[in-house]
Amino acid sequence: MVRNNLLLFTAFLFLFPMSVFAAGYGTAGCGLGSIVIGSERGPEQIFAATTNGTSGSQTFGMTSGTSNCGDHGLLNLSKEREVFASENYTSLVKEMAQGKGEHLNILASMYQCPTAQYQEFGAMTQKKFNDIVPGAQTTPDALLSQLETMLSQHHSLSKACHLQLSALN
């Protein structure tokens, strides 16, 4: 019996990595890191795991079926942005005012903006900061709504980023 359990455990260890890659995420698992970094093998998975851990998206994703942890639908991506903005609101507001930062880049990736557009995304949020965050009472949902309005009106970002995903808000 012990031998059979040992064989099953060994088989699990060998098959587990294959099931991880078949699921569409790398060794860091599902979560925001798997969306931002992807499933490529290598040291990038350290950054994916760090992103998963610092944003809390992996735990939330496993519970809700979002963040590459389950079926991805348009509503799920929108909900992920809402949760991310709520959990990281203070950092996002600070980085929007500065026009750069890790949380802001993650948010740009959640709108599926190409990495090459992150700097432009940050510059736009800095330029339109007073419209996006008009006051101290601005909620995370209001911030996203205003951001989406500014993105839809921006000449290049409206084409580069996938704003139709937020049309269901």
> In this structure, are 61 and 105 located in the same domain?
no
Q: Which two tokens stand for residue 56?
A: 């809390």
The mean pLDDT of 126-145, rounded to a whole number, is: 95
Residue 15 CA, chain-centre distance (Å), reads 28
- The Cα 87–Cα 98 span in angstroms is 19
pLDDT of 98: 97
Number of independent structural domains in the chain:
2
66-70, 114-118, 149-153: lowest mean pLDDT where?
66-70
> In this structure, are 48 and 103 located in the same domain?
no
> In this structure, are 66 and 77 located in the same domain?
no
Q: Which domain holds residue 107?
A: 73-169
Alpha helices in 23-101 (DSSP H): 32-36, 44-55, 57-64, 74-87, 89-98
> In this structure, are 92 and 42 located in the same domain?
no
pLDDT at position 97 over 90: yes
pLDDT at position 151 over 60: yes
Identify the top-confidence range among 15-19, 40-44, 62-66, 87-91: 87-91
CA angle 141, 138, 62 (to 5 degrees): 35
Do residues 32 and 106 lie in contact, with contact meaning Cβ atoms separated by under 8 Å?
A: yes
9-13, 35-39, 101-105, 131-135: lowest mean pLDDT where?
9-13
Among 27, 49, 72, the domain boundary falls at 72
> In this structure, are 146 and 166 located in the same domain?
yes
